[in-house]
């Protein structure tokens, strides 16, 4: 059944470049934003880091429990992670899944 009000948290995945290795899939949980909230973030000039820190609320398959500190460590250790996560977060809410 289609939900007029979707679940407040949703899963999404992104590919993170790993220096010296193959990219790794990172499975995350993000806060669902409304169209107005996405627009307000864009208008305010939200950075990739801010979008990630404000809206990612969990992960799966990572070697540390999710916390603000663990997320900050991930972003520090993988320079492209904030960009990849932020873009994947917005795309997962605004783009339809490709299908046959």
Tell me which residue range forms the domain holding 68: 15-89
Q: pLDDT tens digit string along 19-70?
A: 899 999 999 999 999 999 999 999 999 999 999 999 999 999 999 999 999 9
Q: How many residues does the chain have?
A: 100
Residue 99, domain member (yes or no): no
Cα–Cα dist 24/16, whole Å: 5
Residue 49, domain member (yes or no): yes
Residue 96, domain member (yes or no): no
Cα–Cα dist 55/32, whole Å: 8
pLDDT at 33: 95
Residue 10, domain member (yes or no): no
Residue 22, domain member (yes or no): yes
- In this prediction the pTM is 0.90
Describe the crossing of helices 81-94 and 68-77 by its angle, rounded to 10 degrees: 110
Mean of all residue pLDDT scores within the chain: 93
Count of domains forming the chain: 1
| Residue 33: both structure tokens together | 């934003």
Residue 4, domain member (yes or no): no
Rounded to the nearest 5 percent, the helix, strand and coil shares of the chain are: 40, 20, 40
Share of the chain above pLDDT 90, in %: 90
pLDDT at 96: 55
Residue 98, domain member (yes or no): no
């Amino acid at each position: 059944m289609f939900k007029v009000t979707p679940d407040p948290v949703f899963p999404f995945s992104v590919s993170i470049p790993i220096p010296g290795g193959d990219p790794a899939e990172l499975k995350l949980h993000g806060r669902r934003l409304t169209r107005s909230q996405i627009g307000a973030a864009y208008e305010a000039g939200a950075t990739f880091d801010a979008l990630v820190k404000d809206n990612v609320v969990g992960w799966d398959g990572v070697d540390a429990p999710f916390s603000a500190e663990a997320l900050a460590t991930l972003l520090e250790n993988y320079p492209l992670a904030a960009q990849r996560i932020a873009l994947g977060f917005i795309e997962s809410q605004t783009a339809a899944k490709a299908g046959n």
